[in-house]
Each structure stands twice: as structure tokens, then as C-alpha cells.
């Protein structure tokens, strides 16, 4: 079975001890803001574009946080993704620009009990380390 690899740019956005997460309406789990990198698009440009489209605000990449490789099955279809994660500051208050998404400020002490996907991102966020590599479901 052939599975395409998706490249995603994700943002760790903090406000003191809070983390900005995204929930697709009707789902119980959350993920970091950002999205797919289009073919030929620079990763930093993709992240800025996705954050503007989703949040309605400009952003600034502070530094690189890490990479999380992830595989999962959804609706019987296999998925493989590479998540490139950056620490980001926003230039304004985030407001959802997409009907199917809601943004929530999550207290950092809630992170461990939250269903954040991919799960390995919790380690990248909690460590505060830079340049973390997390292998596929490892």
C-alpha cells in the first residue's frame, strides 16, 4: 500500500503558562496551529500563511523547536506526516477564521491530560528544548 508523506508546519504559541491549541469542531482531540506545506513552498512561508488563514493575525517565528514524525490510520486510510515545529509569537489576538476550527488557550498544567495529536508533541513542548527529533511513533 502506498502512503503519501505529508509535510506540516506547526506553531507553539505561548502566552505566559498557556498554549494555543486547535480543535476541529465536533472532535475531542486538539493539535497545534499550522498546516500543510504546499509543493515548492518554503516551510516558514507555509507556517505564516496557515496562521494568517486560521487566526487572522500575522506571526513571527522565534526559533525551531523540533521535528515529530507520525503515522496513523483514519477512516481506514493510512497517513504519514512530518511535523516541523516552531516557537512563534503572534502580532495580534487570534480569532478563528475557519468555521470548522476553534482555538483554545490551554493551561500548561493541563497539557499532560489533554489529547494533543500527535502525542509526541507534548515532549517537544514540555521540554522547552530546541531541535528535538521524535521518530515515527517511537
Which CATH number fits the domain that encloses residue 41? Answer: 3.90.79.10
Domain that holds residue 35: 5-134
Q: Provide the 3-class DSSP secondary structure of residue 21.
A: strand
What pLDDT shows up at residue 124? 86
What confidence tens digit (pLDDT) does each residue in 108-125 have? 999 999 999 999 999 889
Between 32-41, 88-97, 118-127, the lowest mean confidence (pLDDT) is in: 118-127
Q: Tell me how many domains the chain contains.
A: 1
Provide DSSP, 39-102. TT--HHHHHHHHHHHHHSS-EEEEEEEEEEEEEEEETTEEEEEEEEEEEEEESS-----STTEE
Contacts of residue 113, defined as CB under 8 A and 6 or more positions apart, other chains included, come to: none
Q: How far is CA 88 from the centre of its chain?
A: 11
Q: What is the pLDDT of residue 95?
A: 92
Amino acid at each position: 500500500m502506498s502512503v503519501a508523506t505529508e509535510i506540516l508546519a506547526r506553531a507553539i504559541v505561548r502566552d505566559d503558562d498557556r498554549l494555543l491549541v486547535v480543535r476541529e469542531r465536533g472532535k475531542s482531540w486538539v493539535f497545534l496551529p499550522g498546516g500543510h506545506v504546499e509543493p515548492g513552498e518554503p516551510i516558514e512561508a507555509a507556517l505564516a500563511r496557515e496562521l494568517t488563514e486560521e487566526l487572522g493575525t500575522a506571526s513571527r517565528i522565534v526559533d525551531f523547536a523540533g521535528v515529530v514524525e507520525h503515522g496513523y490510520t483514519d477512516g481506514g486510510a493510512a497517513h504519514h506526516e512530518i511535523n516541523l515545529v516552531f516557537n512563534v509569537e503572534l502580532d495580534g489576538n487570534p480569532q478563528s477564521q475557519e468555521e470548522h476550527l476553534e482555538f483554545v488557550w490551554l493551561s500548561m498544567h493541563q497539557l499532560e491530560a489533554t489529547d494533543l495529536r500527535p502525542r509526541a508533541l507534548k515532549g517537544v513542548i514540555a521540554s522547552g528544548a530546541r531541535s528535538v527529533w521524535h521518530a515515527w511513533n517511537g
